[in-house]
Structure 1
Amino acid sequence: MKMKTIIITGAASGIGKAVAELFYSEGWQLGLLDLNPTPLQDTVKDWDKSRYCIVAANVTDPDQVETALQQIMQSIRLPDVLFNCAGVLEVGDFEAITLDRHHRILDINNKGVLNCCYFAFPYLKQNPGSRVINMSSASSLYGIPGFASYSASKFWVKGFTEALNLEWARYGIQVMDIEPPFVNTPMLANKQAQIIRRLGVKLVAEDIAVQVFQAAQGERLHNAVSREYKVLRAARKCLPDRAAHKLVKWMSGY
């Protein structure tokens, strides 16, 4: 059986790091991409050097992404999975967050995914049965106050995932996403919001890594994580917009 390969963006910490560790333990070969790859050196210190490649790149920069993937392809086999994990979060009233920060959220969470998919496509196309797994969020279920740009960015990821899944089926490429509620990672550290307190932070990065590994073997387009979120997701389909509005308003304290 040939060794499978995965390319992971945002691999240096949080969910990206946990996914890298799990897939390596399962015998996969890895292309690891991060804006600051220095922490990855500690992660891979005891790894077989023939099974990974680390590249520094800013996913918002198309030229850097193209070059990074070219470098990775010189070291590992054609990818079986591209996992778009790089992302950022800001919490606060829309007008209290700087415009530059809003732009950064959209640049990383959306343009980063677009850039990586665009430049990975020629390699994925050569490997029928390959997949793209994008990090979406429970925040894509309904626009969350205090998370306006972040929530909107995850709606974009969901729509982009659905469209590409249909388009790229003709090449044998499956596109899917992961939708977790709040996860205890550095991205969420020190973030304060009523909805975080009410829903709680019950997941860790390793929980999401397991979901990503299952998605890499599965067929589901949207992979909802946690029982509570699955219940909310099911309820959203049944609730009229006015009721959903009231529920989200109560949960978020607005």
Structure 2
Amino acid sequence: MRILFIGDIVGKIGRRMVKENLPELKREYNIQYTIANGENAAHGKGMTKAIYKELMGYGVDFITLGNHAFHKDEVFELFEADKKIIRPLNYPSIVPGEGFKKVNINNETLMIVNLQGRSFMESIDNPFTEIDALLKRESADQIFVDFHCETTSEAIAMGYYLDGRVNAVVGTHTHVQTNDAVVLDNGTMYITDVGMTGYKDGILGIDKEAVISRFLDQLPKRHVVPDKGDGILSAVVIDTVRQTIEPILIRE
């Protein structure tokens, strides 16, 4: 199975980069299924019904989220409609939405799991014990994990923890692609962070001036996600048969 995973789509520029590049990426890499992290797709925070429909129209098959999963109220309607979208598994069980879903691709079952880290992030349930519990009660031909976390140490720990139990663990959230794509000892394909898809000449997809100013004076600043400018697309191609993981970085 050949899976394309697109890292954190940020705002309008990120969505444009998907529109302009996804069809060719699918052809070039013979992609069977496309997953994207969309937690920043709605102008930097959250997901709306219109943007969900837009991304699906561009050829995205499935969307994972993260710590901004509930920033837009419309996401509740997407969860209720049982769309191809999940929020982190380790939110408390009373939280709407699901943390994993299974899809059928060419007579194989792919289980897609979304986890969220706890280091320097919201104190939600433990992602390590939650994925343990899930793997004890659910099975699939292929298992893909999007681990949305802040620190490289927590991401790497999850990779080793799941090595041999899932097909792939890819990191999201820090918006910078790491140069460590690898097949671990027991066959799990891993990368600490896939990187972002959005405004190239800012800081993590945000206009750089306000971010730099915050570092200078420590005062709150409004983060501006530009609608115009050059973009970047960060992704990985995962081949579960050949056991390969190939990072992709497209710059305008």
Q: Same fold (TM over 0.5)?
A: no
Larger radius of gyration: 1
* TM-score, normalised with respect to structure 1: 0.41
Greater helix share, 1 or 2? 1
* TM-score, normalised with respect to structure 2: 0.41
